[in-house]
Amino acid sequence: MIAETVCSAVSAAGLGIAVVTAYRKRFLAAARIAAYALVPVGLVMTGVVDWLADTAFSPTAWAGFGVLGLSWVLFATTRTVERRRGGTRKERKAARAAAQPETVAPAASAPSLGQGSRPATRPAPASRGDDDFSDIEAILKKHGI
């Protein structure tokens, strides 16, 4: 009974504020305030307020909220662990298989010779701008990026 009275008072105050706002020629804002002011009365009329009042004093309802909270904590924990490990089991297995180097090219029947058959070439001298990024490249390589 008290909840219905409070909701009616809040709605009446909101509608009063909407009238004052409309008097100041701010009709869009007044309509928005009136819409918000009518929500508590609508909740009382549909019975949501009674349901909430019954739920607030029910131990079974609070136990249900506890179970929902526990399920949320479990879900969040499993997502965190999955992200730290790098995905699902299939994704980790595929990443391990891709990380192993192949000694033979997929279409070749014999191992490739590698760099032994090419003459050694000197690397081009690094420009001054490359020195700035060398430590960044080292950090990225260290982390496998």
At 85 the pLDDT is: 74
> In terms of domains, do 3 and 42 share one?
yes
How far lies 69's CA from each of 81, 83, 139, in Å? 18, 21, 40
At 61 the pLDDT is: 82
> In terms of domains, do 28 and 65 share one?
no
> In terms of domains, do 38 and 11 share one?
yes
Does some domain include residue 134? Answer: no
Does some domain include residue 137? Answer: no
> In terms of domains, do 42 and 6 share one?
yes
In the chain the first and final C-alpha atoms are separated, in Å, by 64
54-77: burial string, b at 16+ Cβ within 10 Å, e else: eeeeeeeeeeeeeeeeeeeeeeee
> In terms of domains, do 42 and 75 share one?
no
Number of domains making up the chain: 2
At 49 the pLDDT is: 85
> In terms of domains, do 42 and 62 share one?
no
Does some domain include residue 91? Answer: yes
* Segments forming the whole domain that contains residue 29: 1-46
At 22 the pLDDT is: 92
At 17 the pLDDT is: 95
> In terms of domains, do 41 and 67 share one?
no
pTM as predicted: 0.43
User: Any idea how long the chain is?
Assistant: 145
pLDDT in tens, the chain (145 residues): 788 899 999 999 999 999 999 999 988 999 999 999 999 999 889 988 888 888 887 888 888 888 888 899 898 888 888 788 766 677 777 777 777 765 555 665 655 555 655 555 555 555 555 567 888 888 888 888 8
> In terms of domains, do 32 and 11 share one?
yes
At 87 the pLDDT is: 64
Does some domain include residue 138? Answer: no
At 37 the pLDDT is: 93
Does some domain include residue 6? Answer: yes
